[in-house]
Structure 1
Amino acid sequence: MREIPGANHRKGTPGNPREAGLGPKDRPKPYFRGAWLSFISLRCSSGSSAMRRGIHLAIGILAFCLYAVLGSRLYGISPGLTVLGLCAVIAGSLMPDLLERPTSSRHRGIFHSRRALKVSGIVFCLAAFLYLLPDITSRSAIYGISCFALGYMLHLGADATTRRGLPD
């Protein structure tokens, strides 16, 4: 084991690095460090509790994959419509931060609120239900709207898990 300067070494075990008065740069690094750890980290380098853009994209794309697989198996959604849905979910996953730039820790306004989360959830459910109706002529537009609302809703859901949460 690596010795920590100033740590209590009773019985051959290193002490707590925080008790030893070491800063974050002086603390021992974990043995396993992969590039993916920095990608899925929920904290920015400044230590704030804001989510990174890559996290929102990853959550949106993973949820869309499940949504697209279910849609293609149950309702025969075409590959072209899947590409449209992917573009829409990417746009929806990034839209809240485009409407309200994350320039500070207090950037969350009306587009980052619980009300916006509820509205996007309702829009998603209505659009997904309308897609199932047999007499709908503009299925591609409705599918695109449901995918956009899915991305927006998941962006806000991910932001709700941070320390700041979502304002009312």
Structure 2
Amino acid sequence: MAGRKTHMRAGVLVSFILIWYLVSKGLVLSPALLPIALASSVLGAVLPDMLEPPRNRRHRKFFHSLLCLALLLLFLNQTYLNILNAGPADEVTFGLFFAGAGYASHLLLDALTPAGLPVAGL
């Protein structure tokens, strides 16, 4: 199981990759959005373990499931399209996008562990 520091590092990496990608698509980001993106991504990367603390090997329920990941990816896709087409409308939407990306990085790292992720976690 990946530790908190590993998930935080993944959140930072995801944040930088997404910022680079959005800029490469022609989106002009104000300097005020960069710390929001970074902080949101790191928070999102540790959020699953805050919602479902890893007290034992079977702690992974809905918030650590493939169903949650699928719903999150749908949200990220729609938010990405909105940001790309209309620009970052506000700091909250931008922050939620990066928090969701950090959350997804957490789930993907957990999926690579021997325990994996449950399908629905219900």
User: TM-score normalised to the size of structure 2?
Assistant: 0.89
Match of 1:167 in 2: 118
Q: Which amino acid aligns with 1:161?
A: L
Q: Distance in 2 between matches of 1:92 and 1:137?
A: 18
Identity %: 28
Gaps of 5+ in 2: none
The answer to whether 1:155 aligns with 2:98 is no
Q: Which residue of 2 aligns with 1:26?
A: none
One-letter code aligned to 2:117: L
Equivalent in 38, 41, 45 of residue 93 of structure 1: 45
Specify the alignment match of 2:58 in structure 1.
106
1:66 is matched with which residue: 17, 21, 33? 17
Deviation at 1:138, TM superposition (A): 3.2
CA distance in 2, matches of 1:137, 1:118: 23
CA gap of 1:87–1:137, structure 2 versus 1, over 3 A, is: closer
After superposition, the Cα gap between the structure-2 partners of 1:99 and 1:142, relative to the gap in structure 1 and judged at 3 Å, is same
Are the counterparts in 2 of residues 112 and 167 from structure 1 also a CA contact under 8 Å?
yes
Please state how far the C-alpha of 1:57 moved relative to its aligned partner.
1.0
The Cα RMSD (Å) is 1.5
Worse overlay, 101-110 or 70-79: 70-79
Aligned to 1:142: 93
Q: Which whole-Å deviations, capped at 9, do the CAs of 1:73-100 have from their partners, x for residues lacking one?
A: 4211111101111111011000000000
Q: Is the 8 A contact 1:56 1:155 kept in 2?
A: yes
Give the length in aligned residue pairs.
118
Consecutive aligned runs of 4 or more in structure 1 exceeding 6 Å deviation: none
82-91 or 66-75, which deviates more: 66-75
Q: CA deviation at 1:59?
A: 1.2
Unaligned runs of 5+ in 1: 1-49
Considering fraction of residues, name the structure with more helix: 2
1-structure distance, mates of 2:42, 2:11? 7
Separation of aligned partners in 2, 1:63 and 1:69: 10
**Which one has a bigger Cα radius of gyration?**
1
